[in-house]
Structure 1
């Protein structure tokens, strides 16, 4: 029987929680049907394994085709030629760390584009560190989008039945408001529809659309974007046989989504969708539990990610929770269930 293509987890910033959560995940039973490898620096991972008292062998390979066989013997590190040349400095922003972490992402995406790997699962990197060598860097979503020929892909948060796609991502609030345009809303709605059909295996999912302004504009009293951009976009989606309703006030839509009245939702900007998602899924007290997945819609490469940052405040203490990374890995495997 031919082996399935591997899932590649990029290690993230060496000074953050990435190495720890990667190792915590792959050292335990994974509920996936594909071989898995970490794309990163074996020296850093060996040091993190010592910190976590992980005894499994760590095996280095240089080609994706070697992952399946090596994974039967231990934890696989797929080395891309990108090396982190510094000593780890927990919680510190480092140009070298940024350069290495985005280098691992680039390599993993290239392997996927070449059909040598199935999907990329990204651990968190530091945008400020990456920006030191990639000017204008905004995040994984935009970077991978540019590699794939779409500089404005759609970010989507996923946890079980909770699915929210976003009209804009890593831009200022002023710029986010300016990006609420019919064309962008229609694009995001179509991609969300396709994702829901694939993810939930539904034929005709129902999408709830948020307004931009308080009370969804209250008939133009608090802003006119709902009238001039959002309503026309919903009408266009309806003409395309996509079930979309709204715009609803955000504080009405998201409780409805949680209650199962919609199969997915469109948020108009980053924090509108992220704040409610993380409030529901994160516990940052003593237990430090994080859940949920960030995925990118509409690209030829499937990318899923943790829905949290580098955790510089707890890095290299052995306490970072790997559940969000586990969720991301399992979602990637689920979405690729029909693929080689």
Structure 2
């Protein structure tokens, strides 16, 4: 290191190649729950770690070690060493939540076995995040039907994390393609969406988004766009009245303390404005309203972030991809982005 000179705080140095490299005072510790063992979670995780060489991050992987070792060897990927001491080591490690059992899964198939293993991995990573043994977690995809077969009663990661941490409310924020999309409602049938959209819910979600943008992204006065629910944002009441009765009053309440909130915008043009005017976030009334444009723009690089938790949690914005599991062709870009977002948000 004779060609590089660190400053007294150890956070920045320059070298003869004229590149400035930013260092953390210590390595960030990021836990990764590997999701469904018969999906692509392990593959995209190991590919991501290999591709980016995250030198300032120590990884703690949670999953079935014996199965993961066999699978990683078949994919010609390197697995971190198994450890029972959790986070004490300096190097990246693998925590075996299967307790050294040999479990024969069927690759790419829904089962209670694989569902249970993905739950065990998630629970262990969350326990250690709550205990502050790790700085944040990235969750690889789990399969909703498999976890249901295993007795998991939550719709997914977000709902479980809200209950497990005991916080009043969490917000699902999807980032990618120049958008930051926050959802008022998440995983539910369309017939139930209208009943869940209230002035209070819109205000509560938007306030969490604003505070998170300030805290984690350093945006002092965020510019927020709120989407309508109905076609053309109801077109003056022709196609419903939720905009007039619920969404607009909520926006007016929010504007008393946060002037840069506008809407409701017709969703078919709102995302065009979001990109053109560089909004800091978009508040969407239901799942597909926000995820269709985001996944169109960033299918391979979108990231799911849970706001409102006592720790950072991110996830690739895609599923288990059972159809390509074990073939070695999974794209790791979203996992790379999820790790980068997690590291960036850790303070």
- Please say if 1:303 is aligned against 2:313: yes
Work out whether residues 84 and 100 of structure 1, in 8 Å CA contact, stay in contact via their aligned partners in 2.
no
1:35 to 53, 58, 71: 58
Residue 189 of structure 2 is matched in structure 1 by 172
Further displaced range: 57-66 or 45-54? 57-66
Tell me how far 1:151 sits from its aligned partner.
7.0
Partner of 1:286: none
Which residue does the alignment assign to 1:92? Answer: 109
Partner SS for 2:255: helix
Bigger Cα displacement from structure 2, 198-207 vs 92-101: 198-207
Against the structure 1 CA distance between its residues 319 and 136, is the aligned structure 2 distance closer, same or farther, given a 3 Å change threshold? same
Consecutive unaligned residues of structure 2, counting only runs of 5 or more, are 1-9, 11-24
Cα deviations by residue, 1:191-240 (Å, 9 ceiling, x for unpaired): 11122223432100100000011101111111111111111111111112
CA change 1:63–1:213 in 2 (3 A) is farther
Q: TM-score, normalised by structure 1?
A: 0.90
- For residue 66 of structure 1, give the secondary structure of its aligned residue in structure 2: coil
2:33 corresponds in structure 1 to: 10
Q: Partner of 2:172: helix, strand, or coil?
A: strand
Alignment of 1:62 onto 2:72: no
Are residues 135 and 108 of structure 1, via their aligned partners in 2, closer, same or farther at CA, if it must alter by over 3 Å? Answer: closer
Task: Please name the residue that 2:228 is paired with.
Answer: 211
Instruction: Give TM-score scaled by structure 2 length.
Output: 0.88
Mapped contact 2:305–2:314 kept (Cα < 8 A): yes
How has the CA–CA distance of structure 1 residues 146 and 311 changed in structure 2, closer, same or farther, with 3 Å as cutoff? same
User: Equivalents in 2 of 1:52, 1:259: separation in Å?
Assistant: 42
Superposed, which structure 2 residues align to 1:280-295 within 5 Å?
280-282=297-299, 290-295=300-305
Which runs of 5 or more residues in structure 1 are unaligned? 283-289
Q: How many residues align?
A: 324
- SS of 2:114's partner is helix
Q: Provide the residue aligned with 1:246 in structure 2.
A: 263
Q: Does the CA contact (< 8 Å) of 2:225 and 2:263 recur in 1?
A: yes
Question: Are the structure 2 counterparts of residues 197 and 151 from structure 1 closer, same or farther at C-alpha, using a change threshold of 3 Å?
Answer: closer
- Deviations 1:274-329 (CA, angstroms, capped at 9, x unpaired): 111111112xxxxxxx1110011111121100100000110100000111011011
CA distance 1:160–1:318, shift in 2 (3 Å):
same
CA RMSD of aligned residues (A): 2.0
2:297 match: secondary structure: helix
